[in-house]
Amino acid sequence: MLGELYEDALAGLARPEIEYEDGRRTPLRIDDWLHAIPGDASILDRCQGHTLDVGSGPGRLTVALAERGVPALGIDITPSAVQLARSCGALALHRDVFSTVPGTGRWARVLLADGNIGIGGDPDALLSRVAELLKPLGQALVEVEPPGAPLAKDMVRLSHAGRCSSWFPWASIGADQISELGLSAGLAVTEVWTDAGRWFAALSRGIDS
């Protein structure tokens, strides 16, 4: 999906932008994914028990959890990102969240940080999948857009110096819209917080979900 441009960005060989079908462009925040950034601690502090980091990329959060003594597994669809995460000490697998995931139904926490609620362009389907991954009373910890931001479903691609990836679906959702989507997946919002300009929500799976 992200392809060679993303892998080149991880290696420091390219600085691609995210291009939208309507012509908008935003930087790919690759530096944020390689090193700890403000706000990380607030989501890491809420990870109790076995934690699955979905879309773990180069493993920033997965490594930080391991260093805290929290059992954590990262999954990502980009092989070079998985290799980089492993080289940094993370336990990581090359895996799509919608494929077979170890521990399905037994994870205490599932992370969707760094905009990964957008994976697949369908937050409803993704949250339903997360509910399947969680154990009863487990929590999804999701990074969202600030309140007032609309639910957006877009086709995007990476571009740099005349090179472009294939188009792929991506989504974003505001803090005040996550509750409705969560309920449709059997997840109830138990907390919304902000730290260092970032917004997060905790969604809990019920016993009978």
Range of the domain at 95: 3-205
The number of folded domains in the chain is 1
Distance CA 72, CA 166 (A): 31
Write out the chain's pLDDT in tens, 209 residues: 567 888 888 888 889 999 999 999 999 988 888 899 999 999 999 999 999 999 999 999 999 999 999 999 999 999 999 999 999 999 999 999 999 999 999 999 999 999 999 999 999 999 999 999 999 999 999 999 999 999 999 999 999 988 999 999 999 999 999 999 999 999 999 999 999 999 999 999 987 65
CATH of the domain at 80: 3.40.50.150
What pTM was estimated for this model as a whole? 0.95
